[in-house]
Amino acid sequence: MSQSSIGVAVIGAGMAGKAHAAAYRNAPSLYESILPEVRLVSIADAYAPAGEAAAARFGYTRSDTSWQAIAAADDIDVVSVVVANHLHREIVEGLLDAGKHVLCEKPLSDTLEDARAMAAAAERASTIARIGLTFRRAPGIAYIRELVDSGRLGKVLHVSIRYWTDYAADPGTAISWRFKGASGSGALADVGSHASYLAEFLAGDAVEVGGGRFSTAISQRPKPLGAVSGHGHSAVSDEYDTVENDDYAAFSLRFAGGAAGTIEVSRVAAGHPNDLQIEVFGELGGAKFDQSRPSEIELYLAEDSAAERGYRRVLLGSPHPYIAGGMPIDVSGVGFGQNEGFLFQARAFLEEVAGLDESVSLPRNADFGEGVHNMELLAAVAESERLSGATVRLDK
Ligand SMILES: NC(=O)c1ccc[n+]([C@@H]2O[C@H](COP(=O)([O-])OP(=O)(O)OC[C@H]3O[C@@H](n4cnc5c(N)ncnc54)[C@H](O)[C@@H]3O)[C@@H](O)[C@H]2O)c1
């Protein structure tokens, strides 16, 4: 990084790549203007039209078609890696070798072995490597964490998290990288990585998982005729390919603090395009987050009088994490959503790269060690499923 500016690139111009591209564009105007100049340099995508379109749309100077071009570029300091999970390792290691700061999407990789190698590479590197577990920056979830930390909900007794999506509910949905890989690399890795990270974010370290149950509801899918982006549908051929991983996964957890929990994830839950729901139950109350209404939470406090006790709707605004002084209008009721999570995440990463004081910066993004831990938990779920639901301990 030069003294006066940070050059940014995004590798992958698909669904989440565009969210990263937009986030870097807006990050300097989130909160006070304490960042060095942020230069939007390049978006690289192996499919050239996607990179070109995203660069033009989000105001990046150029586009590239390989990660090697980004690694070799002297005018780039910070890179988001937003491609299929099995590509993360090669690209991240190459970028770290080239001296870039790296923000890698979740899950860290598609195998635990690769994830551990990436964490070792990050340890050796002199630059910063972080993972995009974006939901820790959802203001409602961060506020529930504050309620837990402050003791307002009392000791956490159990959590219930479901992340239902329906991007694969239609058997005509084209096969893509999301449907390939070992057992557990499907819905479990895709959205279960978020759910399991959030379970520990809210209830503390998990010590065991059990009851692992996977299902592949649709075992053959048509091949696409063109490029497939994100969860989007594309024209398909009449040739079919095999789905290798889970459409649905469920499991239970036990936490070090004694709490229990359940997680259920799906990509075939018809009518639920992006349905993350979290409930935390403590001795003194409970709290709920629902991604379909991201700018509010529900809160129940046992201290309320018996006549008025019940879940109340709390609109999120300036008293809550991330919002005050950041949103152009930062009062309750204005609203915000999942895209802002990428914005808060990008801002925190740029502040860390710029070396700005922790007291000015937002909390740091998760490091690769946390990314490995997240994958160890998912691997334990796959092991539980393999053992017909047996309990599997998580070694710390
Ligand atoms: N944090 C979140 O909420 C969130 C949301 C969605 C996806 N993700 C993660 O983001 C990553 C990408 O997911 P997506 O849905 O955006 O995928 P996607 O399929 O929409 O996009 C991937 C892009 O990578 C491009 N590509 C393929 N090989 C490449 C290569 N070698 N070099 C450069 N570009 C290449 C493809 O052409 C495509 O445009 C995954 O790791 C996924 O888990 C995170």
Q: What is the pLDDT along the chain (396 residues), one digit of tens a residue?
A: 545 899 999 999 999 999 999 999 999 999 988 899 999 999 999 999 999 999 999 999 999 999 999 999 999 999 999 999 999 999 999 999 999 999 999 999 999 999 999 999 999 999 999 999 999 999 999 999 999 999 999 999 999 999 999 999 999 999 999 999 999 999 999 999 999 999 999 999 999 999 999 999 999 999 999 888 877 678 899 999 999 999 999 999 999 999 999 999 999 999 999 999 999 999 999 999 999 999 999 999 999 999 999 999 999 999 999 998 888 899 999 999 999 999 999 999 999 999 997 666 778 999 999 999 999 999 999 999 999 999 999 986
Q: Hey, whose CA ends up nearest to atom 4 of ligand 1?
A: 16
Residue 101, number of CB atoms within 10 A of its CB: 24
What's phi and psi for 386, nearest 5 deg? -60, -35
The Cα–Cα gap between 105 and 103 comes to 7
Ligand 1 center from residue 4 Cα (angstroms)? 30
Please give the full DSSP string across 62-84, using - where no structure is assigned.
EEES-HHHHHH-TT--EEEE-S-
Per-residue pLDDT at 359: 63
- Rounded to the nearest whole angstrom, what is the distance from the C-alpha of residue 153 to the centroid of ligand 1? 37
Q: Which residue, among 250, 272, 268, 274, has the nearest Cα to 199 in the 3D structure?
A: 250
Residue 11 Cα to ligand 1 middle (Å): 8
- Residue among 10, 11, 15, 95 to mutate when testing ligand 1 (max atoms within 8 A of CB): 15
pLDDT at 228: 81
The Å distance, Cα 49 to ligand 1 centre, comes to: 15
Q: Give pLDDT, residue 23.
A: 98
Pocket test residue of 10, 42, 82, 141 for ligand 1, highest count of atoms within 8 A of CB: 82
Q: Which of 34, 37, 32, 30 is CA-nearest to residue 78?
A: 37
Would you say the CB of residue 14 lies under 6 angstroms from ligand 1?
Answer: yes
Backbone torsion region of residue 230, taken as left when φ is above 0, otherwise alpha when ψ lies between -120 and 50, otherwise beta: left
Nearest-10 Cα torsion for 360, 140, 373, 184: -140
Residue 228 alpha carbon, nearest atom of ligand 1: 19
Count of CA atoms in the C-beta half-sphere (13 A) of 356: 19
Ligand 1: atom nearest CA of 190 is 43
Q: CB within 8 A of 89, min separation 6: which ones?
A: 109, 114, 115, 117, 118
